[in-house]
Chain A
Amino acid sequence: MRSQAALSIRSAYTVGSFSLDAQLDVGVETVALIGPNGSGKSTLLLATLGIRTPTQGRITLGNHVVFDSEAEIDCPTEERRMAYLPQDFGLFPFLTAVGNIEFAIACAGTGIGRRQRQERAMAYLEQFGIVRLAGRHPHQLSGGERQRVALARAIASEPRALLLDEPTASLDVGARAEVRALLRESLEHLQIPTLIVTHDEGDITALARRVAVMEAGRIVGCASAEEAARHPANAFADRLLNGVRPDPSVAVR
């Protein structure tokens, strides 16, 4: 499963009474990360990204060691080239759609002229079918449109891995299917390790090849989507993957 471009995460992290100790390998594929709230999914994502610093561990992306506690390697987030999409899309409110994408292009390559940057940004918008939204600000966009812009921006930063936090959770049902289709197409085209934190079975079916199940800071199971449903790693996975009536104490949006 581990190829040249794989993302390999060994991450241990303790804050107060919460402790995370997770191992996960993501090849050139999409892995869904599921688990109840507070099981450490977002922390694992942020540790991989370099926003949180694990106390122990080793994170590699392809041939690059981005974090190694023993060798004291801690590559800053901005040099890891992992694009992060938070649940509320993370668009910069003071920039237009095209301005948001220009931001990513300016980060990816210095010394690009303004004209050229704008042209490239427009090309990304075209690719995602949202040229008409170029001049709009995030607050003038619908949820689905925002996610399109956010995805275009993430891809414009030329990432080597993609980390998505509940990509369809803030969307209404109609936009959800639409964004899922777009994500599916984009991920197939991108061919980079992708980790999706989700509470939505629809995301898993449409996007993920494998499912990793988290519980209390640990990965308790990682298998193909069918296998994970047939032999669920815990009660949460059973409920989510086999569509049993959701437990109201567990937030499944």
Chain B
Amino acid sequence: MRPTHRRQTMAFRLGMAFLAALLGTLLVLPFVALLLDGGPLSILRGFECALTLPALRLSMETTAIAVVVVVLGGTPLAWWLARSKWRSARWLETLLQLPVVIPPAVGGIALLLAFGRRGLFGGWLERTGFSPSFSTVAVVMAQIFVSAPFYLQAAVLAFGRLNQDLLAVGRSLGASPPRLFFRLVLPLAKPALIGGAAMSWARALGEFGATLMFAGNMTGKTQTLPLAIYTALEIDIRTAQALSLLLVAFAFVLLLALRRINQQPTRSERTVTAP
């Protein structure tokens, strides 16, 4: 190897390593601090705060409902979007992705303007005896609003990539549209749908801005874990740290589970053995 080449290679490697290390450090150090700062005892004591349990409970309940609603409504919507040849479907697909890129606070304002007491549909809602703003229902609505696009995107992609030959075979065997959907399309898309639902759940769990705007910050009623962290910061940083670690743990477990799902080849739930 020529000396100039060797020097260039060295410089190239050093430069790459330096830039990578710079970003890597910035990304990893906060987690190290979150885990270690103050020591385990004071972090554990942080959990004793009165905010913790109501927020944890509320977060679990509201995100569970939000994900169920997103999956129940998102699956047929994504199926339609993936199959529709209308131009309007492409527009709608883009529109439905908006919550991913707009700031959550904007989502909160939009929800408030739509369903708030004085909102566009708020008066009509109120006459039916139902006013969602600043209630637990508003928390769920905000979570659905920000998290649905993650599921929709995964589901539209999965449905669009289905092996068309398999669907043709299914139909030629005589599968009616519902049977084809439930017995062939859904099992084929299942890993991607589970992944989308998990991402959607993670986003709902972390939802902060839209919830604050549209649902408020009331302990036990609308104060989810991220809002409790925000409140705890003013009372005791260790409580905020403890709650943050809790959310990190959830996210970490979720990522591990997703990796396992993606590594597994698609298998059936049941295996029949020969007699």
**Which residues from chain A sit less than 8 Å from chain B, CB to CB?**
46, 49-51, 76-86, 88, 90, 92-96, 98-99, 103-104, 106-108, 118, 122, 131-135, 137, 139, 153-154, 157, 159, 163
Contact = CB atoms under 8 A, between A and B. Distances in A.
A157 B165 CA distance: 17
Contacts of A107: 173-176, 179
B168 A51 contact: yes
B172 A83 contact: yes
A49 B168 contact: yes
**For the side of the interface on B, what is the size category?**
20 to 34
A49 B184 CA distance: 19
A241 B266 CA distance: 41
A80 B173 CA distance: 9
7 shortest A-B CB distances, which residue pairs? A107-B174, A90-B169, A84-B172, A77-B171, A134-B274, A135-B273, A157-B173
Given A84-B172, A104-B174, A94 B272 contact: no
Contacts of B175: 78, 103, 107
A49 B165 contact: no
B173 to A, nearest CB: 4
Contacts of B268: 94-96, 99, 137
B271 interface: yes
Contact of B273 (A51, A134, A157): A134
Contacts of B273: 134-135
Contact of A80 (B172, B270, B274): B172
A157 B274 contact: no
B267 interface: yes
Nearest to B186: A94
A46 B1 CA distance: 59
Nearest to B187: A94
B274 A132 contact: yes
Contacts of A132: 274
Contacts of A137: 267-268, 271
Nearest to A99: B268
A39 B273 CA distance: 44
Contact of B174 (A51, A81, A86, A95): A81
B237 to A, nearest CB: 49
Contact of A92 (B184, B270, B275): B184
A62 B125 CA distance: 59
